[in-house]
Structure 1
Amino acid sequence: MNENRTLTPFQMRLLFLGLLTSICVVLVGGRLFYLMVTMRETLQERAVLQHQHTLKLEARRGTILDRNGRQLATSVEVESVYAVPKAFKGALVTDASLQLSTCLSLPLSRISARLEGDRSFVWLERKAKPRVVRCIRDLNLAGIGFLNESRRYYPKRSLAAHILGYVGLDNTGMSGVEYALEDEIRGEPGRRIIWTDARNRRAASRVDAKPRPGRAAFLTIDENLQHIAESELEQAIRESHSKSGIAIIMRPETGELLAIASFPSFNPNRYGDYPEGHWRNRAVTDVYEPGSTFKFVAAAAALQEGVTTEDERIDCGRGMIRVGGSIIRDSHAFDVLTFREVVEQSSNVGMIRIGQRLGKERFEKYIRAFGFGETTGIELPAESRGILRPSKTWGPVTLAAISFGQEIGVTPLQMVTATNVIAAGGYLMRPHLLLGLGGADGSLETPVSPEPVRRVIDTETARRLTDLLVGVVERGTGQRAKLPSYVVAGKTGTAQKAVRGGYSKTDYIASFVGFAPAGRPALTALVILDSPEGDHSGSRAAGVFARIMRRALRYLAVPPSDEAPIRIAKVWPQMRPILGGTAQGPARNARNLRQQTVFEAWTPKDPLSDAAGGAPDVIGLSARDGLVRFVARGIVPEILGQGFVLEQVPRAGHALEPGTRARLVLSPVPVGPGMPGLQWEDGVTVATFSYDGDRMGLGRAGSARRGSPVQRNEITD
C-alpha cells in the first residue's frame, strides 16, 4: 500500500537552495565560457590596447654630402617627451600641468588639455632641447616617458640651403634635395612596443622591428665653390641694394652643378623663423625675361644656318627700327655695325634683323633645341618650364622682341644650361645635382653618369660663337668681366622687368652669363641681380661674375689662358665623366654613343692608354676615376690608401691579359710632376709640389720635352 510522502519545510529549503546553486553554477559557467572562449580574442585585443602601445621608430635619414665627401646634412639622436593621460586624474592633471609648464614654456591650458581624457599616449614635446629633457626628468612624474628620435641637422647652417631644402617634424623632406630624393634617403621605419602596468606606468619595452637607415646622397656641389658664390652674391646684393640675386656655377663637359646660390637665404635648422619667400629656390622656380643675354641664341642659329657672317655689315638704323607698326629703339644710336659688333655692343636693332632672316619657325626650333620651354630634369622640386609660346602665334613684333630677349620667360637654370652648350662644344648637357648614392659603408656606390641631351650646334659654330662672346668681354658691354690671367667669353643682359600693361621704367634685371677660360672652358656661370639701385646694367652683374670666377678658378688651380696647361696641378675628385664604357670601344646603345662623343671631345688622349687592350694611364686621377678606367678594361685593381693615384701596376700601355693583377697606390693629395715616369708633351709647363700634411704648395715652374721623365722633387728649367 503506497503512502503519499510529503517534504518537510527543511527539505523544501534544501531543494530550493540546490536548484538555485545549480542555476548560479550554470550562469557562472556560461559567463566564463562566454568570456574565455567566445570573447577571448576581443578581450585580448582590449588588454593589448590598455597595456601595450606600438610606436613608430623613425629611420635615420641618409647623410647628404658634397662631391668631396663633406657633410651638408646629417641626422642626430634627440629625445622626445610623451605622456600617458590615463595616469593623470583629477587634481593630478593640474599639479602635473603646473610643473611641466615651467619646463616646456607652454601655456598651462594647453598642457592640461593634453593630459586630460582617456588617451593612452600623447606627445608633449617632439625632439626637445636637452635642457627641456633634463628639466622634465628632474620632475620624476609618473606617466611621463622619453623616446629617442632622429633630428635633421645642417652643420653648415645656411650654406646651400636652397639646394638641400629642409624636413618637417616627422622627418619628411619638404623642399630641395630632401624632398626630391625622399625615397632614397628616408629609410624604412621600425616599431617599438611599450607595456604599461595597471597604473599606466611604463613597465617594459622592446624593439619589434629595427628601422633601416636611408642611403647617403653625394651631390655634385663643391662646398668651397658654394661658399664663394654665396659670399660674393650676398656682398653684391648689399652693395647694390638689389631685391634678390642668383649665382650658378656649372661644369661644362658633364653638366654637374657645382654651386647654386640664391639670396635672400635661410637657415634650414630654423626655417620657421624666416618668411616663406626665403625658402624658394629662385634658380629653378622663378621665370624672368633674359634680355640681351638671350641674343647668343639668335647668333648661334644665324651662324649655324649661314644667314650671316661675323664681318657682314648690318644696318642698325641709327638705333631705331619699325616693326609691325611699333618702333623699337637701341640704347645707343648705332648706324652700321658688323655682326661681330652687333653682338659686342648688344644692338637690339641688329639682332632683330638677324631674327627676321631666320624666320619664326626656324628660330623657335633653335630656341627649343637650347632647352628653353621645357624643364631640365634637375633633381629639385617645383622646377618651372618657362614661357615660350608656339611660333604659329608669333606676330612680327613678337619675333623681333624674342630676338633680343623679351616676350619669353626663362629660368636661371635654363639660361646657364643653354650657355653651357657653347662651352661644351655644341652639346646640351642635362644639368644634375646628384653625383651618386652611397652604400652601407658610406662610399659612393651608385654613380650618376653625365647625360648629353642632344647636339645643338656643331663644334665649329661653337668656336665661332665663343670668339664673338670673347669680343663682348674684351671690347663690348661685358668688359667688367675681364680677368687678368684668363680669357672670358660671355654676354651681358639689362632687361626691363615686365609689369602690368608693359615694362617698368625703373626696375631692371641685370645679368651676365659666360664661361672661362674661353679656349678650354673649366666653368660656366651665371649672375643675376634683381632691381639693383644706381647702375642697373648687365655690366654690374659682369663685375660680380668676375669676382666669383676669379676665386673659383684659383681654387681649382686652372692654368691661365696664356700658359700651356699644367698636366697635374690639382686633380678634382670625380671630375671626369662617369661612363658606361671606354671612349675607344664601340657604343652598345644610343646613350653610350652620346657619352662617347662628349668623352672624346673633352678628355685628352693619352698615347699609351690608346694601345689595344693596354692598361689605362690613371696617374693623378681620383681613386674612383682610376677604378672606372680599369674596370672598363675588365680588370678590378687592388686599392691601397685613399685619395689620388700615385702609382699604378701595371704601367700605362702594358698589355692586360686575363687574370692580370692590378694595383693602385693612392696619395691623400694630387702629387703632380713628382711622379716617376710621366711623359710630357712638348712645351707643357710643369711645376713641383710640396705637401706638409695640411696644405699643398706649388714650387718653381719650368718646361720639359716630350719623352723626358720627370722625377720626384725635380724642378725643370
Structure 2
Amino acid sequence: MTFYRSTNNRQINSKRRTNLFLLLFIAFFLAVLSKLFVLQILDSEIYRTAAKKQYHSKVILNASRGLIFDKNMNLLVSNTTKVSIAADPNMIDKPDSVAGLLAYIFGKDKQEYLDKLSGKNTSFIYLERKVDLQSVKGLDTMSIEGLIVLKDPSRNYNYGQIGSKILGLIDIENKGRSGLELEYNDDLSGKDGYIVMQKDGRGNKRPDLEYPRKDPLKGNNLVLTVDVDIQKFAEEELESGVVNYNASGGKVLVVSVKTGEILALASYPTYDPNNLKISDTAGFKNSVLTDIYEPGSVFKIVTAAGLIEEHLLDRNSIVQTEGGTFDVSGIKVKDSHGFNSMSFEEIIEQSSNIGVMKIARKLGPEKFYKYARDFGFGIYSGLDLPGENKGYLKRPVDFSSESLEFLAIGYQVMVNAVQLSMAYSAVANDGVLMKPYIVKKIIDPAGNPVKEFYPQRLRQVIQQSTSKELNSFFIGVVQRGTGRAANIENVTIAGKTGTSQRIVDGKYSSGSHNSTFIGYFPAEDPQILITVILDDPKSGEFYGGRVAAPIFRNIAQRIIDYKGVSNLSQPDIITFKNNEQTTEDVKYTAGNLIAIPNLRNLKLDDAVEILKEKKLKYEVIKDDTMQRSLKSASPDNVIVVVDQQPDINESVEYDEKLIIKLITRNCKPDKNEQIKVPDVINLSLRRAINRLIVEGFKVEIVGSGEVITQIPKANTEQKPGTKVILFCRNSD
C-alpha cells in the first residue's frame, strides 16, 4: 500500500514539472513574439532609419568661395585645396602607433595626438586642419582603420601681404573672419552641395544612385576699386617710412577725388595671410578704420572752410599772433615761429595754432560744429569694410571754456584716417563730399554683373568758390609753408600738415606724437588724394611736414611715373592684360574698356554731370516723336534721358573719339492721375531722388548714402507731388 502511494506521487510531480516547463516555454515564446512585434511593427521605422545610417552617409561637397580681383582684373585671391586629417578614436586599435606616425609626418609632439585620440566619447575629431597635400603623401589611410583624410578648401592670397588689410582672412571653416572676406562673406560663400554615400559589405563607400546629388554653387566674385600696383607703392613706402623714422606704425590711404574710390589702403605692421604667425596678431587690425586719434593741424580745415564760406575773413585779413605765445584759459600755447601778426593765408600756410585759435572765435561753437559734422567727422564714413570707429565730435552743449579753440587745432576730437581723407577730398572736389567705397562690382562665376556700385555724392559741404580758395591755401602750404617736403617737380601739389601730441600715462607727452600729411594732385584738377599718418616717430623728427610729407611725395611720384602726368585726369579705364587671362571661374580678353553708366530716367542735367565727372564726351539728341507724360506737381517740363548709346553697363573700348549719345524727351506734367511710388530701396541717394522726381514726387531725405527705407511704401498709389521720405543708411 505504501509503495503504491509513492509511485503515484512521483507521477504527479513529473506531470507538474512538465506543465511548468510548458508554461515557461509558452511565456518565453510569447515574450519573443511580443519583442518581434515591437521591433518589426511598432519600432520598424526607427531601426530601418538606424540601419540606413550605418550604410548611408551624406558627404558635404564644399562650395568654392568667390575670387577677388583688383580694378584691372588682377587676381588677388584665389582658391586652393588643403587637406585635413580626422579620426574616429573608437576605431583606432593602436593609438600609440598612429600618434607616432603623425608626429613623424608633421614634426609635432606625439603626446598631442595621443591626447586627441584618447577621447572615446566622440566618433569624429580633427587631428590636423588645412595642411598641404604634399605633406600627407606618406600617410596610407587605407591601412589605418578609423583615420580619415578630407579635402578642405582654402584661400591663396596671390600677392602675399600686399592688400592683406583690405582682403582680410577666412577662419578654419572657410568663413570670412575679417576684411572683405567678412564684409562680403554672403556673396563670396556660395552654397555647399552634397552626395549620399553607400557602404558595401566590405566597408567600401560609393555613391548611392537612388539619392539625388546636389552640386555646390560657386560664390560670386568681387572686383575692387583698388589698383594693386598703387597698393604696392603705398605699402612699400609706408614700411620704409616707419623704419626710417623709427615709428611704431603708420597708415596710408589713396583715394580717387572725383569718385570716392579707394585706390589703396595700407597700415603697418601687417602680415602675410598665406603664412600666418602668432607674432602677427598686432598687424591683423585695419588701423585705417579702427584707430582714432587727435589729428592736430590737419583739422584746421574746418575753421578755414567755415570762415571763408561765411565770409568772415578773406585771405589778406590780418590776425595778431602774439609773438608766438598765447594763453587760453590758463593753458599756454606756443607756435614754432614767433610772428606778431599774420594774414589768414599765412596762418594756414605756416600752421599757426595761435592764429587759428583766435579766428575760430569768429566762427563760434554752433557753426564750427555744423561744418565739422558736414565734413563727416563724428559719423561713420560708410566705407564697405568692417570695424570702423566713427570717432568723437563734441556737441556745442558739451563745450568747455577752451573747447572751441582746441578743437580748431585738432584736439578734443577723435577721427579716423578715412574721415580725414574724405574731408580733404571734398575740398579738392569743388566742395562735394563723396561716399568712399572699395568694391566696384560683384560678378557671378561666369563674369556677368550681379551688382554694381557707383560714386555717391553725400552733400555739398562748401561752395565751389570756397573750395577754390582753400585749394590755393593748400598749394601755398606745399610751396611756401610747412609742407614743402611734399613738392614734386612738374606737378602742383596741394596739402596740409599736422602734428599732435599723444596721451601717455593719462597726459599729453612732449616726446610722443602723431604725424600727418594729406595732399592731392594735380592741384589744378585734383584726381588723387593721399593721406599719410605715422604713429609715434622716434628718429628725432616728428613734425608731419618732415616725416609724413616725404612718404606722401614718394608714393605720389611712383603713381605719377606709373600713370603718366598726362593720364592723371583721364577717365577711369579698366586696362586688361595684353594676353588673355583665364582662371577656373572667369575668362577675360584683351583691350582697354570702360563701363558705360546707367543714365536712363535721369534728368538731363544730372546725366551730363555724371559724364563730365568721368571726362566722357556726349551728344544730346531730342526725341520729339513721342511726348512722355510726366505725372509731376511741378508746372515746368523736365528733360529726361529715355535712352542712351552705348547701352547701359556695356563695356566699350575707350578712345578720344568716344561719344555718349543721350536720347531725351520733354516730359509734360499731368496732375489728374494717381501714380505708383517707385521702389528705390537699395539705390544710391542720387538715383533714388532722380527716379522719384522724374515720376512726379517730392523728396525728403533723412541721412545719407544708400536708401534703406521709404515712406510711402513702393507700389502704393499716391497723388502727384506727394512727399516721399527716404531713410538712408547713414542716418544719425
Q: Normalising to structure 1: TM-score of the pair?
A: 0.79
Instruction: Spell out, residue by residue over 1:492-532, the C-alpha distance to the aligned partner (whole angstroms, 9 max, x if none).
Output: 11211123443211111111101100111110110111122
Distance 1:366 1:654 in 2: 37
Aligned partners of 1:583 and 1:600 also within 8 Å: no
Equivalent position of 1:126 in the other structure: 129
Distance 2:52 2:360 in 1: 76
Distance 2:571 2:38 in 1: 85
1:313 to 2:318 alignment: yes
Return 5+ residue gaps in structure 1 as ranges.
1-6, 588-592, 615-629, 658-717
Aligned partners of 1:284 and 1:382 also within 8 Å: yes
Equivalent position of 2:95 in the other structure: 93
1:449 to 2:475 alignment: no
Return 5+ residue gaps in structure 2 as ranges.
1-10, 577-591, 625-640, 666-732
Equivalent position of 2:50 in the other structure: 46
Aligned partners of 1:556 and 1:570 also within 8 Å: no
Moved more, 232-241 or 368-377: 232-241
Instruction: Spell out, residue by residue over 1:180-222, the C-alpha distance to the aligned partner (whole angstroms, 9 max, x if none).
Output: 11121112223344555688x5533568533322111111111
Equivalent position of 2:518 in the other structure: 513
Distance 1:112 1:535 in 2: 56
5 Å-filtered alignment, 1:347-358, equals: 347-358=352-363
Instruction: Spell out, residue by residue over 1:104-158, the C-alpha distance to the aligned partner (whole angstroms, 9 max, x if none).
Output: 3343333234334263332222222223321212773222222222111111110
Distance 1:571 1:109 in 2: 55
Equivalent position of 1:423 in the other structure: 428
5 Å-filtered alignment, 1:155-554, equals: 155-196=158-199, 201-205=203-207, 208-532=213-537, 533-540=539-546, 541-554=548-561
Determine helix, strand or coil for the equivalent of 2:95.
helix
Aligned partners of 1:491 and 1:512 also within 8 Å: yes
CA 326–598 in structure 1, closer or farther in 2 if over 3 Å, else same: farther
Equivalent position of 2:144 in the other structure: 141
Aligned partners of 1:449 and 1:578 also within 8 Å: no
Name the aligned partner's letter for residue 539 of structure 1. G
Moved more, 337-346 or 10-19: 10-19
Distance 2:107 2:567 in 1: 60
CA 138–172 in structure 1, closer or farther in 2 if over 3 Å, else same: closer
Q: How much has 1:609 moved relative to structure 2?
A: 1.9
Equivalent position of 2:653 in the other structure: 644
CA 20–610 in structure 1, closer or farther in 2 if over 3 Å, else same: same
Q: How much has 1:423 moved relative to structure 2?
A: 1.2
Aligned partners of 2:321 and 2:355 also within 8 Å: yes
Equivalent position of 2:703 in the other structure: none
Distance 2:21 2:401 in 1: 112
Name the aligned partner's letter for residue 46 of structure 1. A
Aligned partners of 2:597 and 2:649 also within 8 Å: no
Aligned partners of 2:325 and 2:338 also within 8 Å: yes
Q: 2:563 aligns with which of 551, 556, 569?
A: 556
Equivalent position of 2:38 in the other structure: 34
5 Å-filtered alignment, 1:628-643, equals: 633=644, 636=647
RMSD: 3.4
Q: How much has 1:465 moved relative to structure 2?
A: 0.8
Moved more, 162-171 or 26-35: 26-35
Aligned partners of 2:574 and 2:594 also within 8 Å: no
Distance 1:638 1:288 in 2: 41
CA 648–350 in structure 1, closer or farther in 2 if over 3 Å, else same: closer
Distance 1:441 1:130 in 2: 28
Name the aligned partner's letter for residue 153 of structure 1. N
CA 44–27 in structure 1, closer or farther in 2 if over 3 Å, else same: same
Aligned partners of 2:644 and 2:662 also within 8 Å: no
Distance 2:649 2:366 in 1: 56
Distance 1:603 1:147 in 2: 50
Aligned partners of 1:166 and 1:271 also within 8 Å: no
Instruction: Spell out, residue by residue over 1:464-497, the C-alpha distance to the aligned partner (whole angstroms, 9 max, x if none).
Output: 1101111111111111111111111100112111
Name the aligned partner's letter for residue 470 of structure 1. I
Distance 2:12 2:512 in 1: 117
5 Å-filtered alignment, 1:698-709, equals: none
1:602 to 2:613 alignment: yes
Q: How much has 1:56 moved relative to structure 2?
A: 4.0
Q: How much has 1:45 moved relative to structure 2?
A: 3.7
Q: How much has 1:63 moved relative to structure 2?
A: 0.9
Instruction: Spell out, residue by residue over 1:214-273, the C-alpha distance to the aligned partner (whole angstroms, 9 max, x if none).
Output: 111111111000001111111111111111111110001110000001111101123343
Distance 1:568 1:523 in 2: 12
CA 487–131 in structure 1, closer or farther in 2 if over 3 Å, else same: same
Distance 1:296 1:257 in 2: 22
Aligned partners of 1:557 and 1:570 also within 8 Å: no
Aligned partners of 2:426 and 2:434 also within 8 Å: yes
1:581 to 2:599 alignment: yes
Aligned partners of 1:57 and 1:149 also within 8 Å: no
Aligned partners of 2:594 and 2:652 also within 8 Å: no
Q: Normalising to structure 2: TM-score of the pair?
A: 0.78
Moved more, 273-282 or 213-222: 273-282
Distance 2:49 2:448 in 1: 46
5 Å-filtered alignment, 1:6-45, equals: 22-45=26-49
Aligned partners of 1:488 and 1:515 also within 8 Å: yes
Q: How much has 1:80 moved relative to structure 2?
A: 2.0
Determine helix, strand or coil for the equivalent of 1:327.
strand
Aligned partners of 1:426 and 1:456 also within 8 Å: yes
Q: How much has 1:317 moved relative to structure 2?
A: 1.3
Moved more, 512-521 or 107-116: 107-116
CA 632–544 in structure 1, closer or farther in 2 if over 3 Å, else same: farther
Instruction: Spell out, residue by residue over 1:281-309, the C-alpha distance to the aligned partner (whole angstroms, 9 max, x if none).
Output: 11001111111111122111110011100
Determine helix, strand or coil for the equivalent of 2:566.
coil
Moved more, 112-121 or 11-20: 11-20
Aligned partners of 2:157 and 2:273 also within 8 Å: yes
Distance 1:49 1:119 in 2: 17
Distance 1:124 1:159 in 2: 32
Name the aligned partner's letter for residue 471 of structure 2. T
Instruction: Spell out, residue by residue over 1:13-57, the C-alpha distance to the aligned partner (whole angstroms, 9 max, x if none).
Output: 987777665544433322211111122222234334545444544
Distance 1:371 1:190 in 2: 45
Name the aligned partner's letter for residue 150 of structure 1. P
Q: How much has 1:654 moved relative to structure 2?
A: 10
Equivalent position of 1:711 in the other structure: none
> Identity rate of aligned residues, in percent?
28
